[in-house]
Structure 1
Amino acid sequence: MTQANIQLLLTGDEIMSGDIIDSNSAMIADHLATLGLRPRKKVTVGDLLQDLINEMQQLSQQANVLIVNGGLGPTEDDKTAEALAQVINSPLCEHPTAIAQIEAWCQKLNYPMNDANKKQGILPKGVGILENTSGSAPGFYCEHNNCLMFFTPGVPSELNAMMTHSILPMLEKRFTNIEPHTTKRLQVFGIGESSLQLKLRKHIPHWPHDIDMGFRADYPQVEVKLTAHSKQAEEKIDSLTQQIKQVLTGHVIGEGDIQLPQNLVQLLTENKQTMTTVESCTGGLIASKITSVAGSSSVFGAGFVTYSNEMKTAMVGVSETTLEKYGAVSEEVVIEMAQGALEKSGSDWAVAVSGIAGPGGGSDDKPVGTVWLAWGNHSEIKTVKLFFPFSRQRFQDYVASAGLDLIRRELLGINEKPNYFPKA
């Protein structure tokens, strides 16, 4: 087989109704891109058996690889195996390898296997099994209409493991003449997609014709993706990556999939330093982001959520006079919050935030979206007033990420102001 025609079939009423957003097709595409492959077509259907049968039959006639995602669970609405049985005219039966995998998973969780679990091992006769290292539902595969069909669970972590350990190696063997392909990903914070593109095109006007550039917003970060499709392009991609880092300076967090919290914990660890947080409008989200990283306990000992004025005074010693004179959302208050958190925790660094997340509570002087941040160490506290007129959730997420970013910049010695600061 010389050329891959890969198509995707996403299943589930919850996707069709909008209850969940389909992110699995993007994950599959990202995995395929590591081999220089990409899906040609994507179809989404609900859980109606006849719809599943029709699409499997039609897509298998068009494609030479079909990846079906979803419908492998233990409940009655999981009908993928039943649909395939009718498509390939093969009876459903207990698959010994699948049953053994499910039993092993249940034993690992110290959970007795029940009839619902066993349903996941009742598959069309003759299919091959794809190991699920992260969950109970075995994946499976078969050939039909000269099409290699893969059937994968809808749980993202399970799909991710199955793509990595089973499906990609099978595709790599099947398509032996894939063109040389290299992908570089840069994670960026604090500058939007349109500004990114303008900045890069301006400062790198002679863009290599054989390297594609793309952007993917994964709020609050943006991913810059470079793809080289030839040996000659592969030789240029490292130098182009360095050029981009120089143009974007402090906005680049790192390469690959690294996130702000992970990067900050790494930097604190490398510098043998610690930090604390004191939060009002973000309600502990900065601390939550830090502690989501394994090993963060070595650099983060305490955080303070001081939502009310009384708690700002009681927990981190903000003066009642300061609160009365300037209000909770003020430069003076966040400075005292940061100083108090440093003193109470004994940490090397602190970040403090106080703002108006909305949708109510704003004024002409301090509209919804206003936030004061203070950050620094025992020697110097810096401050900035920012305005993020977003939804409450997006406001909190961006403010929390900005707090992490400001400490990151201090640790790296980046003096240039980030793009999200107000223009002078």
Structure 2
Amino acid sequence: AYTNRLEGKGIAWKQDGDIEILEFYTSIIYTNFIELTRFGGEMTVCAPTDYVMVNDHQFITARYEAEFSGTCTVQLIDLFDLSQQGVRLGLTEKDQLEYFMYTGRGEVVGQIATFEAFGNNAETRPGPRRVYRPLETFETMTDAEVRDAVLNRAHAFGDGKGSGAAGMGGYKSELVTRFVGKTMSVKADGGGPSIDYEFPEAGKLRWRPAGEADWREAYYEMYEPDDELYFFAHLLDAEFPRSCAMVAVDMKNGLATIVKGTTGTPFRNNETTPHYYFGTFATEGSATPPSYIRHGWTDEMVGECVTWNYQRGNPGLTSMHFYATPHTYSWIIFNPDGSGGMQWSSPGWYSKVRDGVYLMAWVEEACNGTLGVILFNQRTMHDAGFGYHVGRNGLSLSVIGARARHAGKFEIAKYLGLTA
């Protein structure tokens, strides 16, 4: 019978021919896996999977790499001795037929929380297998349509009339007006953007590239995700491609990070992409920054699983994020009974701002193209962030605000070659 008894488990497998793969059963209908040997472990892949229970320690999984190679992998897993026996049928990245049987031995790397009610041992809804096919809902636009959207129909935070949250900011924190009437200069290292600011009123700022004379006006929102740590965002010049600046400033040490979101990638003209710039800033009351220490990249989030509740209600808009590698970001959409459902993965970026506070970004690549950037505070289990999106309704810069729960961690750093 179909089962949820494997849900939440992660196993590192070593198969015949020294093929290594990490499998995470974070859903009852999908598998999230990392091909360490074949593809180097940089990214994860999500694929629909059937889970069948033979007995309390033996399970059959059947995985179909929909949206990718279409490869089918069927295997018998025995949890008593952590062994597997399977068969793989599909096409390689060179379009060559691949068909072989294999055995393997595994090591459990973690068991995260599951969220069904006690006594729920499987989802019983009838109907066909559900498959996440985000490309079918992707808004394909011409270059002319994207240009019109970013130049003539760009909106930030409801243009001063609201957050423009679009469902992702149901738990946003209070707006910060601390810098109204003050100035600020943010300087990125290594030739990155340096920006001067004036904050004449709540919700509106003036900005200019350092060294230029002309000021531009923009709507902005600012939040305080940790004590004396501020995060704000605004649109940049009306040019094509169009960019925004998301700026984190730490009053306690004078350090700053600018995440510049820009429209267009080599794959899709209406996808977005981030660029991180580490540096310093100065404003009234800020600390003198150190000469060499900066915010920087981190592997500390690797293996963590966190649920995010974006809207009030039960359950509201809720998903679980899995930070599987230093370069990938996965999300799991819950089924109505609380079990893990459909999944997708995207590129991800992780920087450390303070102990327990991380500036994280993802692009919903081959999905809807949205850039999300959040400052996540592990002590408050809350975030403050922004979304950047281009679609037929125009370009939008909006707020993200959600409440988090820690669902557990997979101990996988050693398999990815990471060191403390």
TM bin, normalised by shorter chain, reads: under 0.3
Q: Which has the higher contact order (CA 8 A, sep 6+)?
A: 2
Query: Of Structure 1 and Structure 2, which has the larger fraction of its residues in strand?
Result: 2
- Specify the structure having the higher radius of gyration (Cα): 1
Structure with a larger share of its residues in helix: 1
